[in-house]
Structure 1
Amino acid sequence: MAGSTSQKPGVLMLGIVHHAKAEFEKLSEVADVVQVTTGTRDEFIRDCDNGKYDNIVAISRTYDSITGRFDAELVSHLPSSIKFISHNGAGYDQIDIQPCTDKKISVSNTPKAVDAATANTAIFLILGALRRAWIPQLALREGKWRGESPLGRDPHTLTLGVLGMGGIGTATAKRAAALGFKLQYHNRKPVDGLDRQFASNEVPKYVGFEELLQSSDVISVHLPLGPATQGLIGKKELSSMKDGVIIVNTARGAIIDEEALAESLESGKVWSVGLDVFEQEPKINPKLISHPSAVLLPHIGTATIDTQKEMEILVIDNVKSAITQGKFLTLVPEQKPLLAKV
């Protein structure tokens, strides 16, 4: 606990460990662990200012921890002893990286652990959007059998554009290849080694951002949210897409201008959408909720027992590595040059 005379480094867990309980308990073998599951952001800041956490070296946090975002204000109150923040999530827009870097605090996330579950969700939404699946589902539940169900589209006749070819984007492309899609992608730069991950006739083609928008029949978004990607797809970008394009987003809602997307869906420019994320979660644009060609999920891309446990284990493994080796296993990309030591 904080204030202990033990020589073990202090670790603060913000939030509840639901699945990796055994692994979390073993963390106490190498650290003095304090867990906080109740309280408020203001109380946490006050405790930091009062010296309660002055022996803490690493913080482990869940996405919904009591503190809210680790923004510049909150980071400014963290004691100087803190050198590591281990975040449970592949996306880490809940943490402002620059203030952490300025204080020489390393930040980790959980890439790879989320790839399969999120890619599976993307494929589910792609197939659902291709069939505009909500229309026959609703008709069936209303006792109308098929009702006015429209004809759908087949993957093998279409080009899928993957926007963001990281772990999740690549996993999605691999699954899409099995469905017969012609594949193309845009990334900050071409990804090395894709030819070793796909069959020779399935290797995704690298294209520019504008070309991907203009030539894809289906666009699947897999970008992290940051200053460069916030509102990346707006009215201008939507207007440049093919008439009848299908858009799927399992990344972050704020990458797409939700009002512009809803308007494009209403006009028919966008044929259908499959969304697991929204711009102002949990609030959703009413135009999307009411539209029959919108297949919607409440941000459940990683919501499986298996993936949640794998994510929790990686968070704990990152903390162990931090306090025993002085560095994270999965440091966020912006901080790759920074190797903070305990």
Structure 2
Amino acid sequence: MPKPTVLLIGGLTHTNKEWEAFSSKYNLKEFRKGTRDEFLQNCKNGDYDDVVALYRSNTSVSETGPFNQELISALPKSIKYICHNGAGYDNIDVDAVTTRGLQVSSTPIAVDDATADIGIFLLLGALRQAWPHLAAIKAGGWKGKAPLGHDPKGKVIGILGMGGIGRAFAHRARAFGAKIVYHNRTRLSPDLEEDATYLSFDELLAQSDVLSLNLALNPKTRHIISAPEFAKMKDGVVIVNTARGALIKETDLVAALESGKVSAVGLDVFEDEPTVESGLAQNPRAFIVPHLGTSTIETQRDMELLVLNNLENAVDKGSLLTPISEQKGKFNNGGP
């Protein structure tokens, strides 16, 4: 019997040895570098006609672009599984892959702690109005001109999206004496909810001193926070976003920040990455970092390993360990 064939798209940083070890039971193919047109031509030429599963690395967007209808329709019929490196997968057309019968995994769990850590960093930086002071001391001065900051203790921290990252963020925020409220598509079980209070979406907007966005980007959640939502929030609310920039309509966020409706923001993600809206880049009340949520050696290795484990389980056992939420139950797939 010939070995099953698997395909790597993009590069690996921490698990090249583990990938190479797969050669003992799989035929390995790679598209580490190239253009979208080259990849599509390879598909057309039949180079991947025996591929059963592919590993889509977190750098693969620069090689193939998004997995949209054009690319998905070009994939060979042999492919059944797309193992994606990333908790977010908004650059994969979920409807198109599902219609095509392709099963997709992502990397939840592996990213929870590191993303929550950067969320707390942004929370504290925004509350303490730290940006002008950091800029001043780096420029050879001392303190910058900024209003006094706030303590997290006693604040109502609202979490929009209480999945793994949201719960990890809540766990850390509790250590500061904050009160946790949240909104989810469905209310959590008591053991996961702990002491957090479940609210409706509008209640969350109205009651939160800090609003943290921890949900996936999809057509339903794009611009879930825009001018009408800001109007429902407390004056002086703080916004933290470590999920996806396009969850917020950035022009409306800039307006709310400039008006004082939003007193400060802590942002790791932006609507048009790597471009940052000038109204955010230049505002001293915007505490911002360039998408560093999972930028640690430990987390990125864990992510790569989880993708490899998904690929192996798919080829050997016919199921994914961490299927994307939209596909759970559709392909007899388990997963947390």
For this structure pair, what is the TM-score category when the shorter chain's length is used for normalisation?
over 0.9
CA contact (8 A) 1:106 1:338 kept: no
Task: Determine the structure 1 residue equivalent to 2:124.
Answer: 127
Q: Distance in 1 between matches of 2:44 and 2:332?
A: 23
Question: 260, 263, 266: which is aligned to 2:258?
Answer: 266
Q: Distance in 2 between matches of 1:78 and 1:52?
A: 10
Task: Determine the structure 2 residue equivalent to 1:14.
Answer: 9
1:1-342 matched pairs, under 5 angstroms: 7-65=2-60, 66-194=63-191, 198=194, 203-339=195-331
Structure 1 residue 47 displacement after superposition: 1.1
Structure 1 residue 337 displacement after superposition: 2.2
Q: State the 4+ residue runs in structure 1 displaced beyond 4 angstroms.
A: none
> Which amino acid in 1 is paired with 2:256?
S
Matched position secondary structure for 2:64:
coil
Q: Distance in 1 between matches of 2:312 and 2:224?
A: 37
Relative to structure 2, which stretch is displaced further, 272-281 or 332-341?
A: 332-341
Deviations 1:2-51 (A, max 9, x none): xxxx7111100001110012221222222111111121111111111121
Structure 1 residue 294 displacement after superposition: 0.4
> Which amino acid in 1 is paired with 2:103?
S
> Which amino acid in 2 is paired with 1:191?
L
Q: Distance in 1 between matches of 2:216 and 2:324?
A: 11
Structure 1 runs not aligned, ≥5 long: 1-5
Matched position secondary structure for 1:58:
strand
Q: Distance in 2 between matches of 1:340 and 1:55?
A: 23
Report the number of matched residues: 331
Matched position secondary structure for 1:11:
strand
Structure 1 residue 229 displacement after superposition: 0.2
Q: Distance in 1 between matches of 2:191 and 2:278?
A: 40
> Which amino acid in 1 is paired with 2:27?
D
Structure 1 residue 150 displacement after superposition: 2.3
Q: TM-score, normalised on structure 1?
A: 0.94
CA contact (8 A) 1:115 1:171 kept: yes
Structure 1 residue 340 displacement after superposition: 7.2
Matched position secondary structure for 1:156:
coil
Q: Distance in 1 between matches of 2:140 and 2:269?
A: 30
Q: Distance in 2 between matches of 1:338 and 1:325?
A: 17
Q: Distance in 2 between matches of 1:315 and 1:212?
A: 34
CA contact (8 A) 1:109 1:330 kept: yes
Q: TM-score, normalised on structure 2?
A: 0.96
Structure 2 runs not aligned, ≥5 long: none
Q: Distance in 1 between matches of 2:18 and 2:199?
A: 43
Q: Distance in 2 between matches of 1:244 and 1:288?
A: 16
CA contact (8 A) 1:30 1:320 kept: no
CA contact (8 A) 2:81 2:104 kept: yes
Q: Distance in 1 between matches of 2:300 and 2:291?
A: 14
Q: Distance in 2 between matches of 1:260 and 1:120?
A: 27
Q: Distance in 2 between matches of 1:111 and 1:177?
A: 22
CA RMSD of aligned residues (A): 1.3
Matched position secondary structure for 2:238:
strand
Q: Distance in 2 between matches of 1:71 and 1:52?
A: 20
CA contact (8 A) 2:11 2:59 kept: no
Deviations 1:118-140 (A, max 9, x none): 00000000000000110111122
